[in-house]
Chains A and B, each alone.
Chain A
Amino acid sequence: MIGVFYRRPSPGAAPFVEPGQRVEADTTIGIIEIMKLMNPIVAGKAGVITDFLVTDADAVEFGQPLATIDTSA
């Protein structure tokens, strides 16, 4: 996926998740916008989000890591 990464469902809204929060594999952690199309991004694995590697509204490329998840937690 390539586009602009957003941590919130809309400007001013609360982020989908915060670091330290527990997520399931299908929990939405952000959105990538490609040419005005919004694509929900799910965690992919269950665990605890330890960190976001990109900031809100950053341009991201295909294959770029977005966040780290501690799956042992």
Chain B
Amino acid sequence: MSDVPVILVANRGEIAMRIIAAARRIGASPVLAASVADKDSPAARAADRVIVIGASPANQSYLKPEQVAQAAVMAGAAAVHPGYGFLSEQPALCELLEEEGIAWVGPRPETLRAVGDKGSARQVAIDAGVPVGAGVEIDDPANVVALGEQIGYPLLIKAIHGGGGRGIRLVTNPEELVELAPQAAAEAVAAFGNGALYLERYYGRARHVEVQVFGDGEGNAWIFGDRDCSVQRRHQKLIEECPAPGLSEKRRALLHDSSRALVKVLRYRGAGTVEFLVDTESEDVIFLEVNARIQVEHPVTEEAFGVDLVAAQLLLALGRDPQLPDVGPVPPAAVIEMRINAEDPNADFQPNSGDITRLVWPQGPGIRIDTQIEEGYRFPPFYDSLMAKLIVRAHNRDAAVAAATAAVRNVTIDGLKTTLPMHAYVLAHPDFIAGGIPTSWFGPVWEARKESLT
């Protein structure tokens, strides 16, 4: 074995660039597993070596555990970092690598299973003493009225094996529940291969607040504060910030202590996020799920606390000290991240692809840009629409909003439609400036803006 460990990067786009940077930081050699479309990408150039694992569509390359594992063997990898999405929360790749003696940069496969479906994740939360929403599994979709009474209205029907906001239905009365439950079961079978459903209480004006955890795998946890990700469109996050604004000390303590308890129960290994719903109309705080991976929005936490979470992940996977500090519950800075997507916010957020003809980023203190795009880059149509993350840090939230507003104004991306105009609008909106908006805020506000323009 050489002294320089090889890290296989099993992802693409900005997160591939991020993992490559972290590998360099710890003195490792990054090798990129790329599809045909990405074999000459900026991430491919940044890596020490590229292994082409399959055709351009993700289901023939990035989503094939055997092909990624084969690339790891061929690269002589000490560890594989899966990034987010793709195979990052699938036990399949993790287990193939285990057989080859290659480390997986993430939690153990049994952890991925325990938190991978909503039913078992909920049970883990209950075992850890973490507050969960009033909810109940449906035994018989034709016989649900009594269950509905038990929860109260409005409520949500959710597919136990669903995810990413899919397979969810809002129900306001018993008649709707009787009508929609069998439909939801049939759809869940079609979409997720499993018709299991549950009912839970619906909070119409709740925030999405999540806690960044890092476990040593033995039950000990570092807690790196919280993030508010309530600016969402159809359950897709658009803007995230650290810390979550306006949380009382008591609520913050409940969120952080609950997350610590989950890490302990799971003996969680590496970086993870515990997501909660924080109601704005009651004192309720409800566990949503554990995301057993590094998340898109991890940079706001890194910038707020001055840590490198991806390097820490790599170090832990290589059996070294992750070199993380113990920090307080509130960071010394406020940070906002804007996701710049190749979508047209004035045309129902329709994705587009093509050549980036001109690209200018803002500069200055506290500005970080995580991206793969550059001038001349052909944004491919095969993958998700995230082009770049613009992350802005300042000494408090008001200053961060002002700095973010200026930063957005000073980005030029020609050749594609982007979500930049949406960011400019949200950052200037009094509700966002005040802080603490619910996840239901963005949709109607953006629709109202469109109507006011026509």
Contacts and interface: CB of A to CB of B under 8 A. Distances in A.
B112 to A, nearest CB: 19
B53 A37 contact: no
A44 B360 CA distance: 47
Contact of A62 (B36, B66, B69, B96): B36
Interface in A1-56: 2-3, 34-35, 37
A61 B51 contact: yes
A34 B70 contact: yes
Interface in B244-258: none
B52 A61 contact: yes
B61 A62 contact: yes
A67 interface: no
Given A2-B71, A35-B96, A61 B66 contact: no
A62 B67 CA distance: 10
B51 A2 contact: yes
A63 interface: yes
Q: How large is the interface on A (under 10, 10 to 19, 20 to 34, 35 or more residues)?
A: 10 to 19
Interface string A59-71: 1011110000000
B142 interface: no
A51 B76 CA distance: 29
Contacts of A62: 36, 52-55, 61, 67
Contacts of B69: 35
Given A59-B74, A62-B61, A34 B66 contact: yes
Contacts of B54: 2, 62
Given A59-B74, A61-B52, A62-B53, A2 B67 contact: yes
B77 to A, nearest CB: 13
Given A2-B54, A35-B70, A63 B36 contact: yes
B65 to A, nearest CB: 8
Interface of B: 36, 51-55, 61, 66-67, 69-71, 73-74, 96
Interface of A: 2-3, 34-35, 37, 59, 61-64
Closest 8 CB pairs of A and B: A61-B52, A35-B66, A62-B52, A59-B74, A62-B54, A34-B66, A34-B70, A2-B67
